[in-house]
Amino acid sequence: MSSGGSDLDKAIQQLRACRPIPENQVRELCYKARELLIEEGNVVGVDAPVTICGDIHGQFHDLMELFRVGGDVPDTNYLFMGDFVDRGFYSLESFLLLLCLKVRYPDRITLIRGNHESRQITTVYGFYDECLRKYGSANVWRYCCEVFDYLALGALVTGTATNLEPSEAPFADPSSQASMPGLDQDIEIETLNSNGEIMFRFARNGEVSQPSQAASAPSSSPLVDTPSRTGPSGTGATSSSNGSRGNDGGAVLCVHGGLSPLIDTIDKIRLLDRKQEVPHEGAMCDLLWSDPDEIDGWGLSPRGAGFLFGADIVKCFNHKNDLSLIARAHQLVMEGFKEMFDSTIVTVWSAPNYCYRCGNVAAILELGEDGSNAGFVRRANGDAGRKQNSVLMERGERGREGPGRRYRVFEAAPQDSRGMPAKKPVADYFL
């Protein structure tokens, strides 16, 4: 199997049909993947445009739906924030397909490590058993775990656009169009359904359009934590007094879980020795296990690993590292994505109807490319615009102007295409 060769394309074709590839091919693939991943830093640099995805958890048919909604590789650049395996029935096919795509199109797809990419967790949550069942031995599981150890811990997306190029698409609910910001305004956020129809559109200048009733998750808006958006111009996320004008959305840090009390700069992530099993504690563990929460400072995590961190921690970290946004996964959110702390951090969740039980929708996040400043790539976590931002920080508000964000929300792949095993392996409910 040579990179870019027809063997690899054949393997991709076979995996796309949700059929596992032979053990010797897996070995070769994993070897190639490690050679590739070892060259990546702990924090991979990624240029916009890119589509950021959260947990997949072996829901292969939903991963296919994700590619249908978000565009295929290599036409779309993807960044997957870990948790490819466990829980779903097709961890093996899902992970191997992503790995094949990584080897085939290394610059088009970035894979970072989630807390489930670990020997210990996969023995409890299904991937180990699945490999054993599908190959009769644990060899494939072992090969995959060796790849897990080489996955990057984070990614830094640069060159994002502040404003979205508005989608030329119909509105999901045509009557809601009137309440949406017009195309003469700078668009900060768009939410599209799986048919590519516009569900909501938010303008950068502070005007909010109410979510339409056509939204698939009407119970609560995933944007609930961005109340400042509704305030008068200049009081919150809408500030345009930022020093670095133009159309640069700032750097976006992507990590599976979140922050660590041991990490105050991105450079400290770069210094970690990542090529090992996920430890039970310490910075590397925290990056993969922590969660944002409505608390001040740091708190103990109910998960038993990682920490909880509050808005102050995120705002301080983003300011110090000149980030406009942290994108992370790790937590199921019923609406597919959830922005918190004045849009300084977002959770992206890409496993619809998680575990075939939770009834949630999934989302992916598209960050556009800053086309206004072609050729200039701003320095990652440099200090442009920091002075002005410090004023905002003192007022307890958000620092950098964030990137324009397009969320594509999608539901689980239709039941009939899913090919669920007839016999359910676990008790789903209390009976």
Partner 1 sequence: MSTSEIPNLKSLLSSRRGGGFQSRRGRGHNNPGASTENIEAVKDSVVQSTDHDAATSRLSCVELGYLDDPFAAAFVTPGEPMSRRLPLLNRGTYVRTTAIDHLIEKFLSTSPSSPKQIISLGAGTDTRFFRILSRHGASINLVYHEFDFPAITSSKVGAIERSPTLSSLLTTTTNPTNAIRLEISDDKTRLTSERYNIHPIDLRSLVDTNTPTTFPNLSKTTPTILLSECCLTYLPSATATSILHTLVTTILPPPTPCSLILYEPINPHDAFGRTMISNLASRNIYLPTLTTYPTISSQRRRLKDAGFEGGQRAADTGFIWKEWVGEREKERVGALEMLDEFEELELLLGHYCVVWGWRDGGPDGAFTRAWEGIEEQVGDGA
Annotated catalytic residues are 116
Shortest distance, CB of residue 348 to partner 1, whole angstroms? 14
On whether the CB atoms of residues 318 and 340 are closer than 8 A, the answer is no
| Contact range with partner 1 by CB under 8 A, out of 40-48, 92-100, 101-109, 347-355 | 347-355
Residues in the chain: 431
Would you count residue 389 as binding partner 1 (CB under 8 A)?
Answer: no
Would you count residue 421 as binding partner 1 (CB under 8 A)?
Answer: no
CB nearer partner 1, residue 73 or residue 288: 288
CB nearer partner 1, residue 178 or residue 219: 219
Shortest distance, CB of residue 127 to partner 1, whole angstroms? 13
| Contact range with partner 1 by CB under 8 A, out of 10-18, 101-109, 120-128, 320-328 | 120-128
Would you count residue 332 as binding partner 1 (CB under 8 A)?
Answer: yes
On whether the CB atoms of residues 335 and 220 are closer than 8 A, the answer is yes
Name the pairing type of β-strands 50-53 and 78-80: parallel
Shortest distance, CB of residue 126 to partner 1, whole angstroms? 9
- Does residue 49 have a cis peptide bond before it, meaning omega lies within 30 degrees of 0? yes
| Contact range with partner 1 by CB under 8 A, out of 149-157, 239-247, 260-268, 423-431 | 423-431
Q: Locate tokens 């959770």: which residue? A: 347
Q: Which of 67, 298, 307, 356 binds partner 1 (CB under 8 A)?
A: 356
Q: Which of 36, 214, 334, 384 binds partner 1 (CB under 8 A)?
A: 334
CB nearer partner 1, residue 356 or residue 410: 356
Would you count residue 340 as binding partner 1 (CB under 8 A)?
Answer: no
Type of residue numbered 352: P
Q: Restricting to residues 301-330, name those near partner 1 by CB under 8 A.
A: 302-305
| Contact range with partner 1 by CB under 8 A, out of 103-111, 143-151, 352-360, 392-400 | 352-360
Q: How many CB atoms lie within 10 A of CB 124?
A: 12
Would you count residue 357 as binding partner 1 (CB under 8 A)?
Answer: yes
Q: How many CB atoms lie within 10 A of CB 165?
A: 14
Q: Which of 255, 333, 363, 367 binds partner 1 (CB under 8 A)?
A: 333
Shortest distance, CB of residue 193 to partner 1, whole angstroms? 15
Q: Which of 18, 46, 121, 345 binds partner 1 (CB under 8 A)?
A: 121
Q: Which of 200, 202, 337, 354 binds partner 1 (CB under 8 A)?
A: 354
Number of residues that bind partner 1 (CB under 8 A): 32
Shortest distance, CB of residue 358 to partner 1, whole angstroms? 6
Q: Which of 36, 138, 358, 393 binds partner 1 (CB under 8 A)?
A: 358
| Contact range with partner 1 by CB under 8 A, out of 20-28, 299-307, 369-377, 384-392 | 299-307
Would you count residue 424 as binding partner 1 (CB under 8 A)?
Answer: yes
Summarize as ranges the residues that interact with partner 1 (CB under 8 A).
87, 115-116, 120-121, 124-125, 217, 219, 302-305, 331-334, 353-360, 424, 426-431
